[in-house]
Amino acid sequence: MLKHSDIWRAIDRLAAQNGLSASGLARRAGLDPTTFNKSKRTTGDGKLRWPSTESIAKVLEATSASLGEFVSLIGETSGPGTVQRVPVIGYAQAGSAGYFDDAGYPVGAGWDELLFPSLGDPHAYALEVSGESMEPVYRDGDTVIVSPAAQIRRGDRVVVRTKGGEVMAKQLVRESANKIELMSINRAHPDRSLPRNEVAWMARIVWASQ
């Protein structure tokens, strides 16, 4: 499972590879110089604070490093086991019959793939966002990674597929024995309340490439 310390270690190693301190790396990426300071890695009450996907994207661009190269810097040691290949499925395709099995895992061959820090879930997959139904959180062309094995809690952003084949990304409001209530991420779109017996599966969004 990806840990808080793994990501911060990778940022420190990326800075060192470029002859920079963590604050120097932030400055080169156009971020506040204190963004990666040790004091910023936890909150005042001791909770872990993760770097944003936006800040990681900016440092990769500033250092001309790929996501795969960044991933190789994660963990106590770099090497096999720190990375997994995640299949990328177009969001429009996600609603088509045959792309998922009954358990909600992608089926078939020929997917595009991306390298990602190991999620501890071999069935994780990525969806390319299409359209504006998830703005402003997710925009057209963004990639979201979905983990069917991840525990889902109220307030999590999830991908849901109905037995009729409709696929939607929403925020889980409430889940009962009979019903799943979902809030639209884009407030211009209606919220949904689905009878549980009409839901094929629901999986949590664990990362987005914003």
How many structural domains are present in the chain?
A: 2
Residue 192 and residue 145 share a domain: yes
Q: Mean pLDDT, the chain, as a whole number?
A: 83
Q: What single string gives the DSSP state of each residue in 118-162? A: --S-TT-EEEE--SSTTTTTS-TT-EEEEETTS---TT-EEEEEE
Residue 68 Ramachandran class (φ > 0 left, ψ -120 to 50 alpha, else beta): alpha
The pLDDT of residue 132: 78
Residue 184 and residue 88 share a domain: yes
The pLDDT of residue 22: 84
Model pLDDT for residues 30-55, shown as the tens digit of each residue: 999 899 988 888 888 888 888 888 89
In a domain, 135, yes or no: yes
Query: What confidence tier does 80 reach under pLDDT thresholds 50, 70, 90?
Result: very low
Residue 191 and residue 153 share a domain: yes
Residue 109 and residue 152 share a domain: yes
Find the CATH number of the domain harbouring 26: 1.10.260.40
The pLDDT of residue 79: 46
Model pLDDT for residues 149-168, shown as the tens digit of each residue: 999 999 999 999 898 888 88
Residue 186 and residue 111 share a domain: yes
Determine the straight-line distance between the first and last CA of the chain, rounded to whole angstroms.
Answer: 22
The pLDDT of residue 93: 65
pTM, 2 dp: 0.60
In a domain, 77, yes or no: no
Find the CATH number of the domain harbouring 177: 2.10.109.10
The domain containing residue 46 runs over which residues?
4-71
